[in-house]
Chains A and B, each alone.
Chain A
């Protein structure tokens, strides 16, 4: 607390005492500041307690399990120290699935941000039907993953799917979309399909760009592309950074490969085509199919540390490129 805040708090306390000193005369006096402090913790405690019990405790539990051979059923499990980690790093499946997850993030995140931004620019034009267009383009983002999974499965069915229908119409051969190597493109399309989400958020950002800036640039003879690159993009940079970070984290958590798997028997990861066997699928396979809770926990912790490193790098790398023109604190 700064000296300024302290003195203002003291002033406030004094004035309260004089204002309703008579009323409070009977009770022990609690200073205004102390009351506010107590109230702050009273209000934030549901989240603090919830965070400790539902996030920190499970994470710690997973960390402990990652040093054991616990499988949930057998009473005989042992402490193996770094055994799981040693195994994990020497397992080619781990590296392959990690590589695929990385590649998936590297392609899906930039592509969906680009398409979301592109859509936002399009529907930001003064069109008669833009309200309707915004709603329709956003709609897929509201469809629950299971609905999307079934829709894409029927759309890319090898025999009766519309995708192959279009291909054969133009004289191409039908493609086994749900198998290697094409399954990865279907997965990518399910992500791009929800670009409306990024569109809506970018749209809000676009509308915050001061009109005068664009007009000034136009008077100076700047081209549309130049204005977009030098004014719109820098002003949108906080939105783009937020989208990049949340996009990377969402891509790690995607369960689409599971939902797209042919005859998706529940919880089974064995039917997921090789090219969609991402890191999270590897965790699920160890966890559900093999019941190796200890090993799966080690995999989860490695993933967690990797995400911390990746987000750290993103923030570090973009620190000079992101431009904050509105300070949310300044609104008060």
Chain B
């Protein structure tokens, strides 16, 4: 930086310092705004019912009602819903990661007539609003007796996700040709090459894909709302609907406490694995 060689009182140096101060102030304010809603959720979860309804606003709870978290846990079958969420998220994330890696390998390392077309359709289908297919899919699953089971997530998982296929395809395409050539000369099949050589190489993408798929399913509201009954349903659905009094009015503080317990695991996963996560997110943006 040129500023370092200037005397401390130089106008250029002062200007740099003022700029820096403005920049930091702006960033602190923006970060505050971005974290605000979540902070407010935590605060609401620590208030009494009266405080969450009081006007004017009670900025801080008079006592931190930590027991709200235990109450939120006990009022409804929190653990049961969490287990349901976990089952479908693990089921879907595992299957879709493997199937997408498998399909991604095909698009990256093999070819056949029609490949260009198929890849075009794959990319195009990324832009297909899933909501549009979800309602008719529900009717079909209902006819097949798959409503209120976890089969839809198994099928969706086996079918691979275009977004993740693209992620794996980009990664596998970047690996050197020599990797498979020796194996082919030895008479090794492509299935074996994928399983033994390519898959072990791709753990960064595997973990990114797993986390992305897990987060989707954990956060999904519409599909479990459509396909699962009240006791088989997920935390996302339960939080929206079960924290109500017998008269049907919402119990805001417990709902907020439950939301915190629902959101925190995802935030933790993100914080632990953020590198792979962010890398996964950013590669796909650069088609």
Residue positions of A touching B, CB distance < 8 A:
1, 16, 19-20, 23-24, 35-44, 46-51, 53-55, 57-59, 61-62, 65, 72, 119, 122-123, 125, 127, 133, 135-140, 142-152, 154-155, 157-162, 164-165, 168, 174, 193, 196-197, 200-205, 208, 238-239, 242-243, 245-246, 249, 252-253, 255, 259, 263-267, 280, 283, 287, 293, 296-297, 300, 303-304, 307, 311, 326, 328, 331-332
Expressed in whole angstroms, the Cα–Cα distance for A242 and B218 within the complex equals 25
User: For the complex, is B79 an interface residue (Cβ under 8 Å from A)?
Assistant: no
Q: A43-B105, A160-B55 are in contact. Are A326 and B239 (CB under 8 A)?
A: no
Interface SS of chain B: helix, strand, loop or mixed? helix
Expressed in whole angstroms, the Cα–Cα distance for A96 and B107 within the complex equals 43
Residue positions of B touching A, CB distance < 8 A:
23-24, 26-27, 30-31, 34-38, 40-41, 44, 51-59, 99, 102-103, 105-107, 110-113, 115, 118, 121-122, 125, 127-133, 135-137, 139-140, 142, 155-156, 158-160, 162, 165, 170, 173-174, 185, 187, 189-191, 194, 215, 218-219, 221-222, 225, 236-237, 239-241, 244, 248-250, 252, 255-256, 259, 262-263, 266-267, 270-271, 274, 278, 281-287
Expressed in whole angstroms, the Cα–Cα distance for A265 and B155 within the complex equals 29
Q: Are B55 and A159 in contact (CB under 8 A)?
A: yes
| In the complex, chain B residues whose CB is within 8 Å of the CB of A43 | 102-103, 105-107, 110, 190, 194
Interface SS of chain A: helix, strand, loop or mixed? helix
Expressed in whole angstroms, the Cα–Cα distance for A144 and B249 within the complex equals 23
| In the complex, chain A residues whose CB is within 8 Å of the CB of B137 | 54, 58
Count how many pairs of residues, one from A and one from B, have CB atoms less than 8 Å apart in the complex.
292
| In the complex, chain A residues whose CB is within 8 Å of the CB of B55 | 158-160, 174
Q: Are B30 and A137 in contact (CB under 8 A)?
A: yes
B252 to chain A, nearest CB (A): 6
| In the complex, chain A residues whose CB is within 8 Å of the CB of B31 | 133, 136-137
Most A C-beta atoms less than 10 A away, residue of B58, B107, B240: B240
8 Å CB contact of A58 from B54, B105, B136, B283? B136
